[in-house]
Structure 1
Amino acid sequence: MKKLSTKIWLLIVLFLLVTIIFMYWFTDFLYEQLYVEDTEVSMVEIGEKLQTIYKGGKVTEDLIQEIESYNAFSNINVFAVRNPRELSACVPFDIDYDTLIGVDERQLLLEGKSITKIGYEERFERQIISVILPFTDQNRLEGILYLYYPLAKISELANKEVLLLLGGALIFSLLIGFFVYKGIRRIMRPLNELQHAVEQMSKGDYGARVAVTSRDEIGTLSSAFNQMAQSIQQEDEAQKVFLATISHELRTPISYVKGYSETIQNGFIEGAERDEALQLITREANRMERLTNELLQLARTNQELDTIEFDPIVLAETIRDALSLLEYQAAVKHITFHTELDEELIVLGDEEKLKQIFINLIENAIRYSNEHSRVLIVTTQASDAAQITVQDYGIGIPEQDLPHITERFYRVNKARSRVDGGSGLGLSIVEQLIKLHNGKLVITSELEKGTCVHITLPLMEEL
């Protein structure tokens, strides 16, 4: 598998090859356009000026000598002849007269037009450009004016500067190659670090991080990787804590159930003590069942965000249903419910999940209230939302514990919670269910004075 740096190098080489091909084509284009065409135009201009010397009639020797005298001070060779075959005595190379002036060329000359020809001449080892102009009189071709010039090669145009040009190009290429190499190494360094960090993470080292040294795309990628790695690390640590907590939560009831069941099975306890042991086994089994159900509820809540279907729910009726299920628990502690419910409040939601929210909160209020106390449940409308308040007058929550009470397995009073069956998952489930309904949860509390839970749910019209 090719490295990215190798691919970049190959891309640069490809660009250089394309550049060389373009420069070759462009140089040839300049040679043709600037040099050859300029030479042709100059020869035609000279020929047309010399053509004006001819006044008609036969082409005389005096005219030929006058025109050829131009050769003395020009680098363009000029000859005037009556017949094209006479050129063999003038030019130092062979001429194919049939192709020089054919039928088409003769017609052009009779029309007073010039003819330009370019061909390679072995004797000169270069191309020859020639221009032919007519001497015409009364629609007769009396003679021709022949100009030719050996075209210089491109290498001759550059002359001695070619070596300087090639040397400069070589030095320039080496410098460019050096700086490109350094640039690629600098660009690839954070990518190499990122690759190394990814390999570390794939081996389970979630503490891997990369340095963010720029604000470009690579810097953004490095920053995004660090954020992702931090999230994965936190999730991994949370998962480890979660599994450890579950193991701890299950270990105690399992040890109770196992120990007492073995004791009963071996006949070590009988009578009233046996009944107490059976009650303890039943209590711990119920606690394990509750913990398992709550864990399943947490897992389902995380997956139900896109599948839950909302229906119009009369808030007061749902709260009354929850209260009816908790009347016995409240009666055991002689706790009374006081309600102030707005019958007009309608929200969109899942009735069972909303009922579960209220059961959890009211059950907590009962559990942590003193006997002969009361629980207040109030619903009001605030702007386009429904406000639900569950107020108890019990033991309260310490201020330092308030930010953590919705965390999984968090307990304010661990000993008390374990005795009465609390798992530390209830408020975590409540918070997730409220978020599922696009609502908000706020809890305030004061020690020995009670706890107040505020819930905000969008009304049906808002959704």
Structure 2
Amino acid sequence: MKKLSFKIWMLLLAFISITIVFLVLFTNFLYEELYVQHTETAMKEVAENIQHTYHGGVVTDDFIKQTEDYNRFSDIEVFTVRNPRELSACIPFDIDYDSLIGADERAELIAGNPVSKRGFESRFNREVVSVIYPLVDENRLEGIIYLYVPLTKITELASNDVLYLLIFVSFLLIGMAFISLKSLQRVLNPLEKLKQASISMAAGNYETRVDVKSQDEVGELARTFNQMAASIQEEDEKKRDFLSIVSHELRTPISYIKGYSEAFAQKLVTEEQKEEILHLIVREANRMQKLTNDLLTVSRAENLEVVEKSPLIIAETIREVIHLIQSNIDAKKLKLSVDIDEELILVADEQMTKQILINILENAIRYSPEGSTIYILNNHNTIQVIDEGCGIEKEHLTHITDRFYRVNKARSRFDGGTGLGLSIALQLVTSQNGTLNFTSEVGKGTTVHITLPIWED
């Protein structure tokens, strides 16, 4: 299959060649038409001047001789004859009288009207333009004035310049072909780079970029390609990291469960150790279950296209969430202070909003010391969850919604966190056109700001 550049180049050459041929033919046609018209006009002027000197009667020899004098001052051949058949003795080519002056032409001449004719003569190997004017006396054709000029071809007029013209046209065609080729290469080379980059991307080389500096549509396409490549590379890296972290997160509980199960199977566990080991197996199984559930939630949040939102009384929703996690609050002997506007109505999905609040509150419970207080309040349509925990350093604060990101990895594994809770919360808030922000002070605690659209009547 021929390349696109070759096809376009051949198309341009075809257009250029057709244009040059058309111009040559049109110029030749235009020249000949103007030349013929000018020649006919000149012959008619000569014939009319001669005709005006005829005063009737028989055409005399002196009149004929006077007519022939015009030949010395003009390129037009002029003859006056008494009988049209005598023309064969005057002009340098054979003439058929019947074809020269037929019945219709004779009637025109007798009526005093001139006749113009144009035809090919083999003796001259070209067309001949002729004009016939009558010499009429009392409705009797006494003679005719015959004028003719062999048409000169345009190639003959420019016979000395034809070679130069052909050379010029040839160089012009070669030059235009070269310029069009270079122009095409300049335009299509970035496309070739894009093609090679696409092939490289398809092979898995996501770091591939296209170096195109033009500011036209091709340059814009290249920049869009680079942005796409960067996004794909970033997503690929996230995917690799995600799989690596998931594998790492699952490896620990699986190792515990496998190791202790084998110990039980080989009867290496004493009676005193059984209860403790069974507790560890259950704990690790629960961790695996929670991780699997969180991964499923992440997948659903990513594939969610339409969120069914409706008016939501947020105070009632918060009470339902607190009821669900009350056992966790009691286990750490925490206090809960709730101050929510009972008339506040948000536009949100109820189940998604509950999941957001559960994830945020579980995280606050996990990092709050025993006996401390968790505050839940609102500032217009922003829900704030405030704990009195250890706080988060500034460098960690912008990463806490990243998947599997942990400020204190050892503690998170100990109390069962998967590192996905805040990431899920961010996805669910964003899908509802809301925002999720964090402020924290080390040693004093962390505040989570959940902002969702407010219902307006």
Helix, strand or coil at the partner of 1:228 = helix
Residues 313 and 112 of structure 1, relative CA distance in 2, 3 Å threshold = farther
Residues 154 and 283 of structure 1, relative CA distance in 2, 3 Å threshold = same
Match of 2:333 in 1: 334
Q: Distance in 2 between matches of 1:457 and 1:377?
A: 15
Match of 1:313 in 2: 312
1:260 deviation in Å?
0.9
Residues 331 and 139 of structure 1, relative CA distance in 2, 3 Å threshold = farther
Match of 1:109 in 2: 109
CA deviations over 1:54-100 (Å, ceiling 9, x no partner): 23344333322222221111110112223322221221112232232
Match of 1:409 in 2: 404
Match of 1:144 in 2: 144
- Work out whether residues 389 and 445 of structure 2, in 8 Å CA contact, stay in contact via their aligned partners in 1: yes
Are 1:393 and 2:367 an aligned pair? no
Helix, strand or coil at the partner of 2:228 = helix
Match of 1:448 in 2: 443
CA deviations over 1:315-334 (Å, ceiling 9, x no partner): 22212211111112111112
Helix, strand or coil at the partner of 1:273 = helix
Range 95-104 or range 363-372, more displaced: 95-104
Are 1:432 and 2:427 an aligned pair? yes
1:137 deviation in Å?
4.0
Are 1:192 and 2:208 an aligned pair? no
Q: Distance in 2 between matches of 1:56 and 1:183?
A: 75
Match of 1:69 in 2: 69
CA deviations over 1:15-53 (Å, ceiling 9, x no partner): 123213312331232223322222222222222232222
1:111 deviation in Å?
4.9
Q: Report the TM-score when normalising by structure 1.
A: 0.93
Read off the aligned partner of 2:335 and give its amino acid letter.
T
CA deviations over 1:160-194 (Å, ceiling 9, x no partner): 11111111222333333333344444444333333
- Work out whether residues 297 and 424 of structure 2, in 8 Å CA contact, stay in contact via their aligned partners in 1: yes
1:14 deviation in Å?
1.4
Helix, strand or coil at the partner of 2:135 = strand
Q: Report the TM-score when normalising by structure 2.
A: 0.94
Alignment coverage as a number of residue pairs? 457
Are 1:420 and 2:419 an aligned pair? no
- Work out whether residues 348 and 452 of structure 2, in 8 Å CA contact, stay in contact via their aligned partners in 1: no
CA deviations over 1:210-237 (Å, ceiling 9, x no partner): 2223222222222222222222111111
Read off the aligned partner of 1:5 and give its amino acid letter.
S
Read off the aligned partner of 2:338 and give its amino acid letter.
T
Q: Distance in 2 between matches of 1:416 and 1:268?
A: 30
**What do you get for the CA RMSD once the two structures are aligned?**
2.0
Match of 2:33 in 1: 33
Q: Distance in 2 between matches of 1:427 and 1:112?
A: 111
Helix, strand or coil at the partner of 2:117 = strand
Read off the aligned partner of 2:402 and give its amino acid letter.
E
Read off the aligned partner of 1:167 and give its amino acid letter.
I
5+ unaligned residues in a row in structure 2: which ranges? none
- Work out whether residues 32 and 153 of structure 2, in 8 Å CA contact, stay in contact via their aligned partners in 1: no
Q: Distance in 2 between matches of 1:430 and 1:461?
A: 24
CA deviations over 1:127-147 (Å, ceiling 9, x no partner): 111112233345544432211
Range 13-22 or range 429-438, more displaced: 13-22
Match of 1:457 in 2: 452
5+ unaligned residues in a row in structure 1: which ranges? none
Helix, strand or coil at the partner of 1:30 = helix
1:102-181 matches, cutoff 5 A? 102-181=102-181
Read off the aligned partner of 1:446 and give its amino acid letter.
E
Q: Distance in 2 between matches of 1:391 and 1:109?
A: 120
Residues 79 and 432 of structure 1, relative CA distance in 2, 3 Å threshold = same
Q: Distance in 1 between matches of 2:234 and 2:375?
A: 38
